Structure 1
Amino acid sequence: MTYNNSVLIGNWSEERLKNEYEFKLFLRKRDRRELLLQRSRTLFSNLLKERPLAISGTYVLYGFNVQLVASDMPAKAQLVDGKKQYGLAMSILVRERQVDYMQNITDGCLMTLSPITTPCCRNTFVIISAKDESIRGEKMDYGDEFLLRAENYGDPTAAPLYVRYTPCSSPASSDRMPIRLSAVKDSNCRFTTIPLLPCDRLEMQGSPVKTGARLIIKNCVADKSLCVMNQNWMQTFFGPECGVTCRNYIDLHGRFTAENVFTLVSDVETKTKE
């Protein structure tokens, strides 16, 4: 076999045709908005679009948007302007590998705690009464059972999704993240609140929950408190975030520690105070 100039021309032609095919494929994906960059921009636009919190007054009201913020947990390890930043907001997570086929929240999305506390689509939820979902504008009391519904602003006709805790029937690893969005509305989606201090729990049972008050959020089925997985930080598509689960962290005096302390932020004034 002999090699001459025609062999080189053949290789160059093959490379040129390959480049032309890849360029046409790129243009077709761009026109269909299938490029990873375009999908990422769509995802950020859908989930990080700011949502103004409705001003509901001093108390948490059914039917309004709320944020679940772990106000006593440090948000960043580094100091900002010489001060430590506090506050982690419960948020919906879409992972990097899901970007190719998911640009909005869907059934099965994980829940995490994010240092981004600006109200947006991924960290605001509508608080719904477990007794009657049509209730709107009434005060929520300590001990009332409620649901947290995630709003799909990209597709208003989509089925409602609820924050759901899945109990483990057998021993599992400590870094398991059992809180996800679910289209199934069952008893595992029900949560309730109790005052933070033990001395106030009997007296304040049945009294309205104040906006921004430090309290304990419990899952009604597991009877465990919502908590921060402070040892389980991970790098996500939205930056470093940590896990969230239901577990009781109690000190020697029988008091809940900072991992279990949350606040319900439901109005602009409370958000400004923080």
Structure 2
Amino acid sequence: MNYNNSVLIGNWSEERLKNEYEFKLFLRKRDRRELLLQRSRTLFSNLLRERPLAISGTYVQYGFNVQVVASDMPAKAKIANGKQQYGLAMSILVRERQVDYVQNICDDCLMTMSPIVTPCCRNTFVIISAENENVYGTEMKYGDEFLLKAENYGEPEAAPLYVRYSTSSTPAPADRMPMRLSTVKDSNCRFTTMPLLPRDRLEGLGSPVKTGAKLIIKNCVADKSLCVMNQNWMQTFFGPECGVTCRNYIDIHGRYTAENVFTLVSDVETKTKD
């Protein structure tokens, strides 16, 4: 006679009851959508859902969605098939350890530069005037202070989140990533822009910012430029990405290098699916 889990004696009975309990636990987690696979799918669906950018015209306007793109930076640490791809978009990162209890963007999420430049929930931000948040449709000008607000489309009633640069009062490692989302809206969340070329900065101050124009984005408190940490690549839940911080990269001629050059993109439409 072959003994197995169906024989209700001794260890076989205990093993059968254990299997039944684990199967019921699995079904309960599945019904509550608590399985890691389900949570991962929900996270991808929420953060990678394509968001059409409202066409604001030739100039960047307050209240519209924008992407912060470093178009001159290589999209990958290594060249694939002998052809280098360019373009990194500032994005929100939900780390692997947060998947168990987070399916949307939240406070203290890291900011990274991602090769995924298709407009989606994790790489589009609402540009808001620092003086009056109710301003809508007004052209943003060089020298104006603004906020980058992250839209939580999964939980619209949640507290607003802003891109914030945390200054360090003590010497910190070179690979420190101080750009995060925060519910605290203070002066560290304020940024400003200036033209890329030095000869245009004095005359360009106060002129409207064109969409897609190359410019310098500076944090108002640190007085340092937003930059790509191109030497700090890491494997994330969304693929290889690199860090972003505020640091000045200037060559021997006093010009900003590609790490500090960004564009505010607000006139790109997403692909339509049939």
TM range (shorter): over 0.9
Q: What's the counterpart of residue 74 of structure 2?
A: 74
Which amino acid in 2 is paired with 1:110? L
Q: Deviations over 1:179-224 (max 9, x none)?
A: 1000010000000001111111001110000000010000000000
Q: Deviations over 1:80-105 (max 9, x none)?
A: 66532110000000001100000001
Which amino acid in 2 is paired with 1:24? K
Q: What's the counterpart of residue 65 of structure 1?
A: 65
Distance 2:62 2:120 in 1: 19
Q: What's the counterpart of residue 34 of structure 1?
A: 34
Q: Deviations over 1:51-102 (max 9, x none)?
A: 0010011100000000000111000245466532110000000001100000
Residue 191 of structure 2 corresponds to residue 191 of structure 1: yes
Residue 233 of structure 2 corresponds to residue 219 of structure 1: no
Distance 2:211 2:80 in 1: 27
Distance 1:113 1:176 in 2: 14
Q: What's the counterpart of residue 182 of structure 1?
A: 182
Checking the alignment, whether the CA contact within 8 Å between 2:167 and 2:178 is kept in structure 1 is yes
Q: What's the counterpart of residue 108 of structure 2?
A: 108
Q: What's the counterpart of residue 155 of structure 1?
A: 155
Distance 1:112 1:98 in 2: 16
Specify whether residues 116 and 198 from structure 1 end up closer, same or farther in structure 2 by C-alpha distance, changes over 3 A only: same
Q: Secondary structure at the match of 1:268?
A: coil
* Counterparts of residues 91-170 of structure 1 (less than 5 Å): 91-170=91-170
How far off its partner does 1:11 sit?
1.8
Which amino acid in 2 is paired with 1:89? A
Distance 2:212 2:57 in 1: 11
Q: What's the counterpart of residue 47 of structure 2?
A: 47
Q: Secondary structure at the match of 2:194?
A: strand
How far off its partner does 1:17 sit?
1.3
Q: Deviations over 1:109-131 (max 9, x none)?
A: 00000000000000000000001
Distance 2:208 2:89 in 1: 22
Checking the alignment, whether the CA contact within 8 Å between 2:228 and 2:259 is kept in structure 1 is yes
Which amino acid in 2 is paired with 1:113? M
How far off its partner does 1:268 sit?
1.9
% of aligned pairs identical? 84
Distance 1:123 1:86 in 2: 16
Distance 1:83 1:130 in 2: 41
Q: What's the counterpart of residue 266 of structure 1?
A: 266
Which amino acid in 2 is paired with 1:198? P
Distance 1:221 1:100 in 2: 35
How far off its partner does 1:145 sit?
0.2
Distance 1:238 1:77 in 2: 15
Which amino acid in 2 is paired with 1:118? T
Q: What's the counterpart of residue 22 of structure 1?
A: 22
How far off its partner does 1:12 sit?
1.6
Q: Secondary structure at the match of 1:67?
A: strand
Specify whether residues 79 and 173 from structure 1 end up closer, same or farther in structure 2 by C-alpha distance, changes over 3 A only: closer
Unaligned runs of 5+ in 1: none
How far off its partner does 1:18 sit?
1.2
Which amino acid in 1 is paired with 2:210? K
Q: Which moved more, 1:57-66 or 1:68-77?
A: 68-77
Distance 1:50 1:207 in 2: 31
Q: Deviations over 1:157-179 (max 9, x none)?
A: 11110000000000000111001
With normalisation by structure 2, the TM-score equals 0.94
The CA RMSD measured in Å over matched residues stands at 1.7
Unaligned runs of 5+ in 2: none
Q: Secondary structure at the match of 2:126?
A: strand
Which amino acid in 1 is paired with 2:139? K
Which amino acid in 2 is paired with 1:10? G
Q: What's the counterpart of residue 249 of structure 1?
A: 249
